[in-house]
Structure 1
């Protein structure tokens, strides 16, 4: 999560500590990534585990509020990125924002905040609200090396570059229902957390996929996928869309397409109804709609295609051979999927994004 997103989500201590760390970016790197070295304006190291190499780079100078400001880091091998609070959390294996802030204060030699006179904590966010979604995403961590990454690999999804919308929570609360007998359901499971954002990038909701402890499948509960917050019109986004976008229903569907076209901007609306209501960037000139092969998917395609055409946007369907594109990826393999999708793209897009 970027410093800007964290400030929007949490306000106060997290944003202030992120700014302080950015001003001491080189000192942070020398402490937590001691096997790296400085080259110009960057600190280079192998990964967040401090292995030697050059894959991960941290910017040491720049405006605090700039997209490429001091403290911003990216791992070119995994696509993980964030600010120095994210880096500290990943390096120290910290699973809560509170522990991360405590570690940052210790590094900066700052005292822990005194408890308020009344002893009251920040009031809880309303259940299922956008604020609850923002807090959940802030508490999660990058997915590299986690059960969430294991789960996606089981689904054939290995390339996770530019997937900052995805995070991992080791113990995400699951509330069972009448289909989850108490002796079968646990209070919390590991979960893949996806940020739902509007066209301006503000987090409006979150999607949770609860996972088995091995990461080899979803958790054995009746509803392993649930969303919260304001979803209508919004989506889980991969890449910044301006004139071109691929839109579909499921996260794994869109991640499957990204295995063959990682630079093509995509949006997962999370359901057929939400796909039909997806808000489109005003600069969009071409929209590809990745259809699911069922009646709901057909209706969503027709509705969204009609809306886009009314806005003067060129529309083209992307049709899987089986139920959806993740099914195609696992059954056909990357090569055959790439050939199938390439044949459905406008030639100039196929040449640019599926070379």
Structure 2
């Protein structure tokens, strides 16, 4: 028998303190309330969760006095775990309550958002926050990547849901969220990079980076003006590679295709006349470069390959420094682009 959302919320409310200790672990009990920073489990005191039913309302209801947000414990699970689909939220609630999962429905309404779909990506992106002042910004800075706070493609989620595909075990970890968009700026997917909460790089996971949504033809664009002309751009496979180029050439639009196969199929802006492709040393990377170069040539676009001095451009940025990387790139760019995109000095 299917248990309704309200019934799940009520049952969670019967164990409100245990739910808070599990999903809002950065808070603490104070009287009849659990006090924490917000529904995403940040530290602070502005969010109050009622632990026992009283004349003021049922257990499990919460309010954030700083933002005026309010809700129940299903909302806590959704936000603290970074879940998007209600099916996943309900499954997590049932797991916590040790309830059996429902049998598959042969009839009835389809889920509002399909798991792994572009809509799911857009919802997760909307649930995230700007990276300024967050662990994501510190992570990028630790890799020498300094981007404008106006980069619209990047967000941070303090508790993004991660499932081990081998064991089925789940956990929540902070994550850098990068939007994958088409040339119109519409989000079609995203890439999650889970981070070590201590600030020591990526999380220690078998797959600390995963993508979802419609990726083919699209990319993580930095500096793309959806309504503007893009006569010169750079493209490559990895986000950190392209963000490193963007760090030393902040006026150059760049796209990270997320994989070698997706690089080969990247959709190029119609006004593009010159394309720089960031080299990757492995065989799959060479295939992506060759196929994209061929497609660019067929469209009348001059394709030029940029090669790093070390393993990749992020290695160059971190170990050799931005000035050295800029000097290395200046010899590979068309002179006109050197003047346009590489700051003097």
Distance 1:164 1:347 in 2: 30
Tell me the secondary structure at the aligned position of residue 156 of structure 2: strand
Report the aligned-residue RMSD: 2.6
- Equivalents in 1 of 2:147, 2:124: separation in Å? 24
Residue of structure 1 equivalent to 2:54: none
The residue aligned with 2:191 is: 207
- Report matched runs for 1:302-317 at 5 Å: 302-317=290-305
Counting only pairs closer than 5 Å after superposition, residues 169-180 of structure 1 correspond to structure 2 as 169-178=157-166
Aligned with residue 103 of structure 1, among 55, 58, 67: 67
Residue aligning to 2:80: none
1:222 to 206, 209, 215: 206
Match of 1:332 in 2: 320
Runs (4 or more) in structure 1 with deviation over 2 Å come to 102-106, 158-162
Q: Which residue of 1 aligns with 2:332?
A: 344
Judge conservation of contact 1:162–1:239 (CA < 8 Å) in 2.
no
Distance 1:279 1:286 in 2: 14
CA distance in 1 between partners of 2:217 and 2:195 (Å): 27
Inter-CA distance 348–166: structure 2 relative to 1 (3 Å threshold): same
Partner Cα distance (2:325, 2:318) in 1: 9
Deviations 1:159-182 (A, max 9, x none): 33442100000000001122x685
- Kindly state the Cα deviation for residue 244 of structure 1 after the two structures are TM-superposed: 1.1
Give the match's secondary structure for 2:67: helix
Is 2:221 aligned against 1:237? yes
Q: In structure 2, do the counterparts of structure 1 residues 129 and 99 end up closer, same or farther at CA, with 3 Å as the change threshold?
A: farther
CA distance in 1, matches of 2:130, 2:293: 34
2:236 counterpart of 1:272: no
1:253-264 map, 5 Å = 253-264=241-252
Calculate the TM-score normalised by the size of structure 1.
0.64
Q: CA shift at 1:187, angstroms?
A: 1.2
Which is worse superposed, 271-280 or 233-242? 233-242
Q: Contact 1:248–1:289 (CA<8 Å) still a contact in 2?
A: yes
Task: Render the CA deviation track for 1:301-343: whole Å, top value 9, x for unaligned.
Answer: 1100000000001111111112210011111111110001111
Cα offset for 1:276?
0.5
Q: Is the 8 A contact 1:291 1:317 kept in 2?
A: yes
Q: Contact between 2:191 and 2:211, CA under 8 Å: does it hold in 1?
A: yes
Number of residue pairs matched?
A: 243
Name the counterpart of 2:175: 191
The unaligned stretches of length 5 or more in structure 1 are 1-91, 107-119
Find the structure with the greater CA-based Rg: 2
Show structure 2 runs of 5+ residues with no match: 1-44, 48-61, 71-89, 91-109
Preserved CA contact (<8 Å) 1:246 1:290: yes
Cross-structure match for 2:269? 281
Contact 1:157 1:256 in 2 (8 A): yes
Q: How far apart are 1:127 and its partner, in Å?
A: 1.2
Which one of 145, 148, 151 corresponds to residue 157 of structure 1? 145
SS in 2 for 1:255: helix
* Alignment-derived partner of residue 293 in structure 1: 281
Distance change in 2, residues 1:342/1:126 (3 Å): same
SS of 1:278's partner is coil
Q: Give the whole-Å Cα distance in 2 for the aligned partners of 1:324 and 1:340.
A: 13
Q: Does 1:167 align with 2:151?
A: no
Does residue 1:135 correspond to 2:123, yes or no? yes
User: Hey, what's the Cα distance between the residues in 2 that align with 1:162 and 1:239?
Assistant: 9
Secondary structure at 2:244's aligned position in 1? helix
- Larger displacement relative to structure 2 (252-261 or 153-162): 153-162
C-alpha change, 1:193 and 1:310, in structure 2 (3 Å) is same
